[in-house]
Structure formats: C-alpha cells, structure tokens
Amino acid sequence: MLFETSILSRPGGREINEDAANWRACAPQAALWALADGLGGHGGGEVASQRAVETLLAAAPAADPAWIAERLQSAHERIVAGQNETFELRQMHTTAVLLAAVGDQTVWGHCGDSRLYFFRGGQLAEQTIDHSYVQTKVEAGDLQPRDIRFHEDRNRLLGSLGMAGAVRVTVRPEPLVLQAGDAFLLASDGFWELVLETEMEVELAKARSAESWIAGMHTRLLGRAEGEHDNYTAVAVWVHAGGEQVQ
C-alpha cells in the first residue's frame, strides 16, 4: 500500500499554536503519522507537542500494538524529563495520537482527546475514545456522544503525556489489514469539535485528494469558529493500491 498525506495546522483565534503534527515515510510502503495538542493551561504546551511528535516519529515503524505503546511511553518520558529544564516547562503536558503503517498492516494509539478516525467505503468505521471526564459521563449513560463537543467540562482530561504517574494510553489491540480507498483523519479537539463526523463523510465523498478533503472540512470549521477559538490541526491520510508515494 502507498499513502497520500495532507496536513493542516492553524493557531485559530490564539496567538500561539500549541498543536503539532508531522509524518515520515520510512520505506516505499511504510510510514508514520503523529499529532499532538499541547495543554495551554499548563505552560510549555507548544514545546510539549513538538517534542511528542518528534519522539513518536523517531523510530522505524512496526505494525505492532506493543510498538505503538512503547513510542507513546517514550514521548511521555521525554516530556517528563523536560519538565525539569526550566520553571516555565515544569507542568508541560500534551495529548498525542500515532498511526503506523507497514505494507498492508496498520495500527494506532492515543493519549488524551486528540482523535483518530478511520473510514472505509466512505463511511466512518472506527474512532478513538477520549481520555476525558465527559467521556466517562458518556460511558455511564449520563451523556450522549454528540454532547461531548458542547459540554462545559469537555477539556477536563484524564490522560496526557507528562501527567504524574503512569501514562494512560489506548492502542488498537491488533493490526488492521488495509484496503485501497481507506482513509484516516488525525485531529486535535480544536478541529473535531467544529466538524461533525457526518460532515467528515460528506467531504470525503466529494474530495479528489487528501488535500481537498482537508480543505472541505476546513471551510466548514471556519463557518463555525468564533472569537478566540482553539488551535486546530488535522492530518488526512489516503491509502492507495499502487503507483508512486504521494505527499
């Protein structure tokens, strides 16, 4: 399998963009994609997110859940170590999501409320589940999933890289066999809060490239964004059966 990637990252209504995202082609049919959202209220968010992405992309990929967990743990340890560098960085934290593909096998994992969406046949097939207070309310039956976007406590996280104690991560338990036409979206909360899942599907059906898919969703986001809205970042990945790798 070969992969087409497009990345969008903007500060939104803020002065500093504390999101980070990047990808790396590691072989003709192997690649990594990572996204992180630094927690602005803790200080050093932009440093934490950049270091997380750098660390997540630093090793050759393996389509192995244990490998994903190890990379997230390594990123967590780097951020914890960096908290001792300066007073300003003492509480830096970040969310993270990591996708790895080798040949026709892929696996992913995350920490916090940055999300991965997987689409097959143009329809949403899987998505990550947030490590957040409002997600626990959904699991308890007190909220509907659609209510997460608008809940006043939606930013109360139960997991992030840099938190004290053992890092909380969730990894897909087994690799997924890819098919041509599959698509992935990695998104920070500033992006997915303003673009509904049904709209992701609509824009995917209209798009002719990963870049145009991102552009269609971006237009919807800008139609809803108000005032000092959050940084927003998205990584779109399309899976192709052959030809040259496309960036």
Q: Where are the domains of the chain?
A: 2-240
Cα 147 to Cα 60, 144, 156: the distances in Å are 38, 5, 14
Which helix (DSSP H) or strand (DSSP E) does residue 148 occupy?
Answer: none
**107, β-bridge pairs:** 100
> Residue 32's beta-bridge partner residues?
24, 100
- pLDDT tens, 161-210? 999 888 899 999 999 999 999 999 999 999 999 999 999 999 999 999 99
Are the CB atoms for 101 and 180 separated by under 8 Å?
no
Q: What is the CATH number of domain 2-240?
A: 3.60.40.10
In three-state secondary structure terms, 176 is strand
Order of all β-strands in the sheet with 183-187: 2-10, 232-240, 183-187, 115-120, 123-127
DSSP H stretches of helix in the chain: 45-56, 65-82, 133-139, 189-192, 197-206, 210-224
Can you give the pTM of this predicted structure?
0.94
Tens-level pLDDT at each residue, the chain (247 residues)? 899 999 999 999 999 999 999 999 988 889 999 999 999 767 799 999 999 999 999 999 999 999 999 999 999 999 999 999 999 999 999 999 999 999 999 999 999 999 999 999 999 999 999 998 888 888 898 888 888 887 888 788 999 999 988 889 999 999 999 999 999 999 999 999 999 999 999 999 999 999 999 999 999 999 999 988 999 999 999 999 875 454 5
